[in-house]
A and B are shown apart, each in its own frame.
Chain A
Amino acid sequence: MFDKFREWYENRHEYAKDWKEKTGGKVVGYICTYIPEEILYAANVLPVRILGGHEPESIGLAEPYLFGMYCPFCRDCLAQGLQGKYAYLDGIVIGQSCIHIRQTFFSWRQRIPHEFDHYIPMPMNVVTPRASIPFLRKELEIFKSALERWLEKEITDDDLRRGIEIVNKNRRLMKKVYNLRREPNPKLTGLEAMYMVVSSQLTDKNEHSDAIEEMFNNGLATRDLGRESSIRLMTVGSENDDVEFTKMVEETLGATIVIEDHCTGSRYFWEEVKLDEKDPLTAIAERYVTRTPCPQRDWEPERIRFRRILDLIEEFGVQGVLLIQQKFCDPHELDIPALRDLLNEKGIKNYFLEFDVTVPVGQFRIRVEAFLETFASDELFAEDIV
């Protein structure tokens, strides 16, 4: 049922090239999900997220440009670009993000040919919205003007409203699919969810939304995966589109990832732009300032993201949490001790894993298996009491 998304995920470059040929439109690569895709859709430009290739053999290509203590994900992304895998991109944009991935953008901008580039200084302060919303609105205006100059066409408010609706509709539909993960017998696996969300970052959202609707028409809601007795996990952490790892957890070890907090998962699409009667750029600015923040923006004493993680744990019946962190990922390294303390305090089992694009996934198997066994021993213990 989710094959279409898997195909898109696996053949992302072919998809984008076909789209260009079919529509004659421009494709812009983006780095980090703090990019207002709504504006790109309003301009009829296809935004595609630049991701790593999980290829240990090529990551070294980025070494001359990126300091070795930056995370493997940002090096992997740059290595993809340097190999020419994204040669079809007409432009690149970044919504100010962690400094590791910024370097990917900076080196890309300098070293890989493109027509258009833009850096949006997306505010880091999301706890003082009275300052950050007007600031971001102005930056979005600058971004829109830069696009207009490049494309030699005006982007009207109606275009923006259309862009907002395209992206919002896709968000709504993905959320509807996610609701099916709450059920005792989830209607999709974590891997399927990953294919769906990541492919929505790589394809035309109109087409992607149609594909979701088709799944519903084909009985997604009544599907039976026979996973009612598997251990329900949540994954939390850095960028993660590690198919091999997810397969290992769900197919080999039999657990089910029922929800996650990654920028390749729920955090990407959870909140919509609330347009109401507002000026569209203000509405977009509000959405990006008030969305669930990534760790580096989450400055409140009681982190906003943590509250959301606890809510999701409850709503999705999560039994245990896998904390996944890319090696050297400062933003998550800065949150994980506090998050572990919180989870431990709440009695929620959790296990920490450090990812590196060059570490074969097999190494994690024994560790995750041992973590899952703690749930089985809990059950035995419970039976003894009964």
Chain B
Amino acid sequence: MDSENKYPTEGFKCWKKAKELRLQYYKNYMQAKEKGGIRWAGNAPSIDAVPYGLGDDVYHLTGEPYGATVAYNKEFARRCHEVVEAKGYARDLCAYMRNYWGSVLLNEFVFGGPFPKPDFMWVLHSCCSHAKWYQEASRIEGGIPYFVIDWSAGMYYKWDEKREDYVVDPNQEHRIQYLVDQMQEGIEWLEDITGREYDDEKLIQAAKNYFESTSLWAEICTLNQAIPAPMDEKTMYSFYVFAALHKAHREVVEFYKELRDEMRDRVARGIAAIPNEKARIMTDIQPPWGFLEIYRYMESYGVVSIGSFYTFTLMGHWEIAEDGTFRPRTTPMEKGIEIRTREDALRLLADWALGLPMAQIFYDHRFKSHIMKKIFTQWKCNGIIMHFNRGCEGLTLGVAENKQALVEAGIPVAYYEGNMGDEREFELATVKEQITAFIESLGLIK
């Protein structure tokens, strides 16, 4: 244990607001029907800017954060798994998805009351489970209409030998068009099933919110390059989630601005996430949500996790500057691009969505290894802890290769096996032992 406290710490001022906003988000969804509004369900990356064109009383529920919340409530998660397995679903399927289906099958919402059925489902597909998750949810819930947009249109970046870095592949036009065509059809479908007239102005505003909030999140993460780190990863989970809940909502933009300003202030004043920061690590993908205490365990040795490829890039949008810096993506508004029409908005939305760093892992694990190395350097890390997460086949794509590449680059790497949402596949004592050994290898335990 380390008791050498050299940095001042203080709680986040916007913490209370974050809690309220999160609660309000779920309340809005639950109560949408009482106010004559619309509610829909979909995955976190879904392009939520599009359904916002249906009106201001449109609320949604994203499946992954919901699945993670269920995982955090271990007893509820256990009942979800049991009911899903009894229906014949395999135990190795996405743990979030099983938590979500379980909740539907039990007809229990993790925040209390019966599971609030959506009016429709709106999905963006890249992992094998995305479309099927909602196809099955629809079947279980008695035929709720759903629309899926295929996101797997190929790699946005390409390797540039000369720069020894990734650059944007100029061959994007037909990929953008593919997403635009699907969204156009999706809008017709939305009008059809809701009977509402679509408002392009609302779409344009929501698209702007999406660009801004997800770039702002990257900016917030960038501020964590400071030593001492003003935010630890466990806290980061509570903030990053807003982009996973409703990234195209103005409220998220405003909240992230506030958080960004607070981060700036913390950096200026040298406020630390942990008082005894001695070493900085980063992680790779989702944590075991039911066992976040492993972060506190690391901190007791002066090890702070500054974030991860996951917290930074699942929702945060980034770009690679000419000098190789990994930095927040410049928004179309910052570039001075005017968004006047539906077509303008959809094209920019498609381009934005295709460029998400996390989406690139579906085409080349080398991209993720490369970006992880950049994060490791820019955020001044001492090591990387990876989670071989049996609960998510999607984001584990390439993990074994990532580990090889990072080790080959001379980075100290530890990894543990577990499951983000199914506690039956997580051994706390073993993982703690692995973490201890790693911290020891970093020279922090004598």
Interface residues of A (CB under 8 A from B): 63-70, 96, 98-100, 102-103, 106-107, 110, 119, 121, 123-125, 127-128, 130-132, 134-135, 138-139, 142, 295-296, 299, 301, 303, 328, 330-331, 333-338, 340
Contact = CB atoms under 8 A, between A and B. Distances in A.
Contact of A132 (B139, B171, B178): B178
A130 B181 contact: yes
B182 interface: yes
A26 B241 CA distance: 50
Nearest to A97: B128
Contact of B174 (A130, A135, A295): A135
List of 6 A-B pairs having minimum Cβ-Cβ separation, nearest first: A125-B150, A131-B181, A121-B154, A135-B178, A138-B174, A334-B132
Among B185, B390, B393, B396, chain A packs the most CB atoms within 10 A around the CB of B393
B401 interface: yes
Contacts of B131: 124, 296, 299
B404 interface: yes
Given A121-B155, A296-B128, 18 more contacts: A67-B396, A100-B393, A103-B365, A119-B155, A119-B363, A121-B363, A123-B153, A131-B150, A131-B182, A138-B174, A139-B154, A296-B132, A299-B131, A299-B148, A328-B92, A333-B89, A337-B136, A338-B136
A328 B396 CA distance: 13
Nearest to B425: A69
Given A69-B92, A130-B185, A333-B89, A135 B153 contact: yes
A356 B370 CA distance: 34
Interface in B160-191: 171, 174-175, 177-178, 181-182, 185
Interface string B137-165: 01100010010111011110000000000
Contacts of B136: 334, 337-338
Contacts of B178: 123, 131-132, 134-135
B137 to A, nearest CB: 11
A336 B397 CA distance: 23
A135 B350 CA distance: 14
Given A69-B390, A296-B132, A125 B93 contact: no
B340 interface: no
A99 B390 contact: no
B230 interface: no
A144 to B, nearest CB: 14
B336 interface: no
A372 to B, nearest CB: 22
Nearest to B139: A338
B60 to A, nearest CB: 19
Given A123-B150, A125-B148, A125-B149, A103 B185 contact: no
A100 B94 CA distance: 14
A131 B135 contact: no
A334 B128 contact: yes
Contacts of B92: 69, 328, 330, 333
A106 B368 CA distance: 13
Contact of A99 (B93, B127, B155, B181): B127
A102 B397 contact: yes
A330 B401 contact: no
B36 interface: no
B135 A301 contact: yes
B330 to A, nearest CB: 26
A151 B404 CA distance: 33
B152 A128 contact: no
B1 interface: no
8 contacts: A119-B154, A123-B150, A123-B178, A128-B150, A303-B135, A328-B90, A334-B129, A336-B88
Contacts of B394: 99
A99 B132 contact: no
Interface of B: 87-90, 92-94, 125, 127-129, 131-132, 135-136, 138-139, 143, 146, 148-150, 152-155, 171, 174-175, 177-178, 181-182, 185, 362-366, 388, 390, 393-394, 396-401, 404
A301 B171 contact: no
Contacts of B404: 64-65
B128 A330 contact: yes
A98 B88 contact: no
A301 B145 CA distance: 8
Nearest to A126: B150
Contact of B400 (A65, A121, A303, A334): A65
Contacts of B364: 106
Contacts of B400: 63-67
A330 B87 contact: no
Given A121-B152, A131-B178, A333-B92, A142 B171 contact: yes
Among A65, A110, A128, A142, chain B packs the most CB atoms within 10 A around the CB of A128
Contacts of A98: 128
Contacts of A127: 148
A128 B185 contact: yes
B396 A135 contact: no
Contact of A106 (B138, B177, B401): B401
A121 B390 contact: no
Given A131-B178, A138-B174, A299-B135, A124 B393 contact: no
B399 A301 contact: no
Contacts of B181: 128, 130-131, 134-135
A119 B171 CA distance: 14
Contacts of A328: 90, 92, 393
B398 A106 contact: yes
Contacts of B127: 99
B139 A301 contact: yes
B364 to A, nearest CB: 6
A179 to B, nearest CB: 33
Given A131-B178, A142-B171, A107 B153 contact: no
Given A131-B178, A135-B178, A295 B132 contact: yes
A337 B86 CA distance: 10
Given A69-B390, A295-B132, A330-B129, A99 B397 contact: yes
A69 B153 contact: no
A328 B392 CA distance: 12
Contacts of A63: 400
A94 B401 CA distance: 19
A384 B269 CA distance: 90
A304 to B, nearest CB: 12
Contacts of A99: 127-128, 362, 393-394, 397
Contacts of A70: 393
A67 B177 CA distance: 34
Contact of A134 (B94, B154, B174): B174
A128 B393 contact: no
A375 B129 CA distance: 36
A199 to B, nearest CB: 29
